[in-house]
Amino acid sequence: MVLFIAGDIGGTNTRLELLKATRRAGSDDHHGGEGEVLLGADEYKSQEYKSLEEILAHFLLRFNKSNEAVFAMCLAVAGPVTNNVAKITNLTWVIDGPALARHFRVEHVRIINDFVGIGYGLLACGPNELELVHGPAKGAVSEPNAPIAVIGAGTGLGECFLTHDGANYQVFPAEGGHADFAPRNRTEYEIMEHIKRTTLEDSGKHINRVSIERVTSGLGLPKIYEYLSLKKPGQASPAALADIKSGKDIGQVISVYAKSGKCPICVETMDLFMQAYGAEAGNLCLKTLPFGGLYIAGGIAAKNMDVLRKNDQFVREYLAKGRMKVVLDRIPIYLITHKAVGLLGSKVICRRIINGPLQIRSKL
């Protein structure tokens, strides 16, 4: 049996698991089976530590008291990854795969972008960890071994896609969230112009282009709300405004007041957001033709499914692609409900390292 570490490393929390596994011919993405045992799991506040090495040292001291050699480690990291080295967003940490391998005597270390981790993680999700958004009742059925696409709005907008190589699915990263936002009506055009007028680059100059992420992510919700508040000041709830001015998370305030219906501006903000989200999901599917399914990740959709399903607005805008509607209608859509799908992805990669050849095509 061999030890492996799976991790999900973010600017706020670092989640780690230590497991022991039996080598088996081939790989098993979906579960560890009877030969896999969880030896320990813990969560750390990333900001409280100087480095990931410090956290790993505490973790191994607690759960690997016999100091047994670790065979494999995979860490899904919230930040860009190049040549197995990552600079984590919102921290000063540099996560260097080869350096970690030497320091902790780990034979195989893989550092992957967190959204690539989500892509691998969905391969390990069971049916009870997926919620159907658009499926067989409307003629959309997953095709075996067909491409898969993943989209997820959270702090930013992540996208990736998977293709089957004859043995396994491999995940390919994408930066579709940074493509140009294309307004589809006057309201979206005015939102885009508002973002240009009110957003500064690091240099202090106003931005001259708007990416999809600046509308369809946690960055976009406050901007949509600002625009509507200026255009329709009488419809802004004084209570919502007071909560925002008190320093509460703006996205959460908008979501709460939209669900209660007590703030018309918040209701319209969430509707416009979900419509733009659905439109971008359709764009992703036109480019990748994921007849194996489109999977929605990220916290915004999971926490606002009532808004996503309202008047079928997400799917309606997803399908609004002219004569290509008939093509997109064939693609089933699922919401990933697993709370730590990135950690699942790290485990999938470790299992592949342990049980057979692995190719990770990620340069993020």
* Per-residue pLDDT, 5: 98
119-173 pLDDT, tens digit each? 999 999 999 999 999 987 666 678 999 999 999 999 899 999 999 999 999 999 9
pLDDT at 57 over 60: yes
Instruction: With cut-offs at 50, 70 and 90, classify the pLDDT of residue 356.
Output: confident
CB 107 within 8 A of CB 72: yes
Please state whether 247 falls in left (phi above 0), alpha (psi between -120 and 50) or beta. left
* Residue indicated by tokens 């491999």: 170
pLDDT digits 0-9 by tens, 293-341:
999 999 999 999 999 999 999 999 999 999 999 999 999 999 999 999 9
- What's the token pair of residue 284? 């992703």
Domains annotated on the chain, with CATH: 2-121+340-355 (3.30.420.40), 128-337 (3.40.367.20)
Helix or strand holding residue 336 (H, E): strand 333-336
Name the residue among 233, 226, 204 with its Cα closest to residue 272: 226
Global pTM reads 0.91
